[in-house]
Amino acid sequence: MADKLYSNRIFSFLLLWLIVTNQSWAQKEEFKDIVLLNSYHPTFKWTVDITRGVLNEFSNPSEYRVFVEYMDSKRFQNEAYLKQLSRIYLQKYSNTTIDGVIISDNNAFDFFLNYGDKIWGDVPVAFCGNNSILEYKNLDTTRFKGVKEQINIDSTINIIKSLQPELEELIVISDSTNSGEIFSNQFKKAASSHPDLNYSFLIARTPDQLKTDLKRRCSKNKAIYLLSLYIDREGFPREMLQEAPLILNNCYVPIYSNWDFLFGDFITGGLVIRGKDQGEKAAKIMKDLINGRQVPPWLSENREILAFDYKQLNKAGLNYSGLKGEAVLLNKPENPFEKYKQELLGVASVLSFMLITILALLRVINQKKIAEEQLKQSESRLEMALEGANEGLWDLDFTNYDVFLSQRFARLLKYSNPNELNIGFTNYENLFHPSDFPQMMEAYEMHKTGHSPLFHSEARMLTKTGHYIWFSIHGKIIETDENHEPVRMVGTITQIQSQKEFENKLKEAKERAEESDRLKSAFLANMSHEIRTPMNAILGFTDLIMNDMITPEEGKKYLEVIKSSGENLLNIINDIIDISKIESGQLKIKQETFDLHSLLGELQDISENLIFQGRKPIEIIVHKGSENKNFFIKTDPFRLHQILLNLLTNAIKFTKTGHIELGYIILDKGALQFFVKDTGQGIAPKHRNIIFERFRQVDETSIRKFGGTGLGLAITKSLISMMKGNIWLDSEVNKGSKFYFSLPCEFKLKEPDIPASY
């Protein structure tokens, strides 16, 4: 029992829910339904324009739905038809709730008054196109609101008069339709205030009648006022515009009217009203009505437009200058520019835009080109500058450990390109000489820590050929991070090998000069001793000789000592004079032809005498390169004698026993090679070069032992060099020395130019 009660409750609930939801489904959607009831047919221009005006206003389909009806009552006018029509509409709208009805023209208005409420209910009504609205008695003006269809005949007559001041007669064409009669009455009323206007009515019934009447009454200086023209043509009237030829072919005078739909190669113009304006106004009124807005006057004024057909005005030869400004000129042939003004303006603006864009692009391209050109120029200038300065460029990126080296950099190290050099952050140390690397890194640290504004170092760098070359390295850190760590560093390398070599030579020269200075001091010290010794001997023995107590033998002995000391002194002085002359460039080499063999013989004698004096067991051997007894040569005999004597003196001095060889051989190309060989103490290899230097002796103490100035070989070498020859030696310590020198000279087998005196 309880179960049954429960299930009944559920059923009732479901039923209620269904009713509620069904009700909400049945609710009308949120748009309004409007009926436009036209008096006439859908091909009638006036009706078409009104409909267009109404539909324009209700163009939003989500808000309004418009049902357009055409009663076609201009063509079908009988009560039975209208009654039947009312039944059809009743049936048609039986299930539709209509929110308002718009009525266009008189017939529809009358129809609505008869059947409207029954068909659509007590809905608000907006009307237009009703030219006799004021004649309705007891009209509910709270429900019926609309726009006048009031044509302004009075003003139109004024305009006609101003356009055609010579007007003889105005032919007023009308018809016997309801509207025709209304307009005719309106005309008569308006014309009554123009007593000067000569007009006559032509009520059109049939085409022929109209034609005949027109022909009969038409003449120049007349005009037509067209009020209405619906002639019965086998039961139906035609459009007024379709009757245009009927008038134009029979009476060609200006035609005035008040309907805008008559424009188009027909009427000339007038103060016209437009069907579209009527429709729009009626629709606006309807909108206000159904949306509950106030519509203050129940009857709104209609809009009038003074409009003329440009072609017709000109055809009729009317002076319309007085109308300009206030009248709309239709049918005016547009000049091509006017006609396509919008398009032309569009095209012009597109072209202008394109032109501006192209110009802007060209400018950008040009600027880019100039910038590229400038960049190229500065790059090539930089390149040329680097080339000219023989500098290689390096650029280090510490963020990605990227090393950029210029082509020139690679070429300076004899590589063809930087890739071949293949240097990066990990292996750059290999590029530098190990001795130079630490001081280079020190210079980098100084720069990095801000102690020097630029990085500069000199270091030897390894070339592809495996040699080190000196480079000057400059650089600068151009970017650092927030921790002041370098981000980017750039710089150059410049080859300074020759500069370094020059510097080294200068250094050596300086050292040599210092050494020479040192040697000169030593020389002077030695010389003073050397000079003093013979001088002391000379003076001491001179004193002894001056003593009366000495025997003649003793005196002779003393004199010999004095002589030998004097000779020694002379030798020293000669050497000093010679070296001074050589150094100051005053020593001149003479060219004389003399007997070489006799010079060698003389030297042999001197040498033997010296050996004898030194009491040494040494033998002198002379080698002659030529067996010819009269072997003459052309060179400086005095200096050759000096050279050979110096070599022989040294040989005797540094040889205790054995033999000394003196001689020459004949070389090709007009040169002789002399030699002096001994079996003495020899000269160690390390001393072989220095003995030719000034004031140099192998052992500076030897001067005490052997005497000499240390200038002999220096003078010898200088003399040989001045005579375009060369000197060299070959020696073995404790075995002996061999001195050789070459001497370019002419050989002559004839008498000498002058007698020899060495």
Applying CB under 6 A, which residues contact ligand ADP? 650-651, 654, 678, 680-681, 683, 691, 697-698, 702-703, 708-714, 737
| Stated length of the chain | 758
What is the nearest approach in angstroms of ligand ADP to the Cβ of residue 732? 11
What is the nearest approach in angstroms of ligand ADP to the Cβ of residue 542? 27
What is the nearest approach in angstroms of ligand ADP to the Cβ of residue 451? 53
Tell me whether residue 232 or residue 661 sits nearer to ligand ADP (CB atom): 661
Report d(CA 715, CA 173) in Å as an integer: 153
Neighbours of 509 (CB within 10 A): 11
What is the nearest approach in angstroms of ligand ADP to the Cβ of residue 738? 9
Tell me whether residue 698 or residue 722 sits nearer to ligand ADP (CB atom): 698
In this structure, are residues 268 and 255 in contact, taking their beta carbons and an 8 Å threshold? Answer: yes
What is the nearest approach in angstroms of ligand ADP to the Cβ of residue 406? 55
Tell me whether residue 86 or residue 709 sits nearer to ligand ADP (CB atom): 709
Report d(CA 134, CA 186) in Å as an integer: 13
DSSP string across 423-475: --TTTGGGGB-TTTHHHHHHHHHHHHTTSSSSEEEEEEEE-TTS-EEEEEEEE
The percent of the chain in helix, strand and coil, each rounded to the nearest 5, is 45, 20, 30
Residues in contact with 10: Cβ distance below 8 Å, sequence separation at least 6, in sequence order: none
Residues in contact with 429: Cβ distance below 8 Å, sequence separation at least 6, in sequence order: 437
Tell me whether residue 554 or residue 700 sits nearer to ligand ADP (CB atom): 700
Taking alpha carbons only, the member of 491, 486, 490, 492 closest to residue 398 is: 486
**Phi, psi (degrees; rounded to nearest 5) at 56:** -60, -45
Give the containing element (helix H, strand E) for 118: helix 117-120
Give all strands (DSSP E) within 274-397, no chain letters: 299-300, 305-309, 328-330, 391-397
What is the nearest approach in angstroms of ligand ADP to the Cβ of residue 391? 49
What is the nearest approach in angstroms of ligand ADP to the Cβ of residue 687? 7
Neighbours of 135 (CB within 10 A): 10
Tell me whether residue 175 or residue 678 sits nearer to ligand ADP (CB atom): 678
DSSP string across 600-628: HHHHHHHHHHHHHHHT--EEEEEE-S---
What is the nearest approach in angstroms of ligand ADP to the Cβ of residue 685? 13
What is the nearest approach in angstroms of ligand ADP to the Cβ of residue 525? 14
In this structure, are residues 496 and 472 in contact, taking their beta carbons and an 8 Å threshold? Answer: yes
Helix (H, G, I), strand (E, B) or coil at 6: helix
Give the containing element (helix H, strand E) for 398: none
Report d(CA 503, CA 472) in Å as an integer: 14
Tell me whether residue 633 or residue 713 sits nearer to ligand ADP (CB atom): 713
Tell me whether residue 312 or residue 697 sits nearer to ligand ADP (CB atom): 697
What is the nearest approach in angstroms of ligand ADP to the Cβ of residue 657? 13
Tell me whether residue 433 or residue 688 sits nearer to ligand ADP (CB atom): 688
In this structure, are residues 285 and 302 in contact, taking their beta carbons and an 8 Å threshold? Answer: no
353, 452, 494 from 432: Cα distances, Å:
63, 22, 14
Tell me whether residue 183 or residue 675 sits nearer to ligand ADP (CB atom): 675
What is the nearest approach in angstroms of ligand ADP to the Cβ of residue 698? 3
Q: Side chain identity at 195, as an amino acid letter?
A: P
Report d(CA 352, CA 362) in Å as an integer: 15
What is the nearest approach in angstroms of ligand ADP to the Cβ of residue 642? 12
Tell me whether residue 305 or residue 622 sits nearer to ligand ADP (CB atom): 622
**Phi, psi (degrees; rounded to nearest 5) at 293:** -90, 155
216, 246, 399 from 208: Cα distances, Å:
12, 9, 107
Structure-block tokens of residue 281: 């106004």
Tell me whether residue 633 or residue 715 sits nearer to ligand ADP (CB atom): 715
Tell me whether residue 571 or residue 673 sits nearer to ligand ADP (CB atom): 571
What is the nearest approach in angstroms of ligand ADP to the Cβ of residue 709? 5
Report d(CA 528, CA 705) in Å as an integer: 16
Tell me whether residue 130 or residue 716 sits nearer to ligand ADP (CB atom): 716
Report d(CA 704, CA 454) in Å as an integer: 59
Q: Side chain identity at 606, as an amino acid letter?
A: I
Tell me whether residue 128 or residue 572 sits nearer to ligand ADP (CB atom): 572
Report d(CA 383, CA 550) in Å as an integer: 94
What is the nearest approach in angstroms of ligand ADP to the Cβ of residue 616? 13
What is the nearest approach in angstroms of ligand ADP to the Cβ of residue 671? 23
Tell me whether residue 130 or residue 697 sits nearer to ligand ADP (CB atom): 697
Report d(CA 692, CA 685) in Å as an integer: 13
What is the nearest approach in angstroms of ligand ADP to the Cβ of residue 679? 10
DSSP string across 219-266: -TTEEEEE-----EETTEEPPGGGGHHHHHTT--S-EEESBGGGTTTT
What is the nearest approach in angstroms of ligand ADP to the Cβ of residue 457? 44
**Phi, psi (degrees; rounded to nearest 5) at 571:** -60, -45
Report d(CA 752, CA 744) in Å as an integer: 18
What is the nearest approach in angstroms of ligand ADP to the Cβ of residue 699? 6
DSSP string across 469-528: EEEEEEEEEEEE-TTS-EEEEEEEEEE-HHHHHHHHHHHHHHHHHHHHHHHHHHHHHHHH
Tell me whether residue 327 or residue 660 sits nearer to ligand ADP (CB atom): 660
Tell me whether residue 184 or residue 697 sits nearer to ligand ADP (CB atom): 697
Tell me whether residue 481 or residue 699 sits nearer to ligand ADP (CB atom): 699
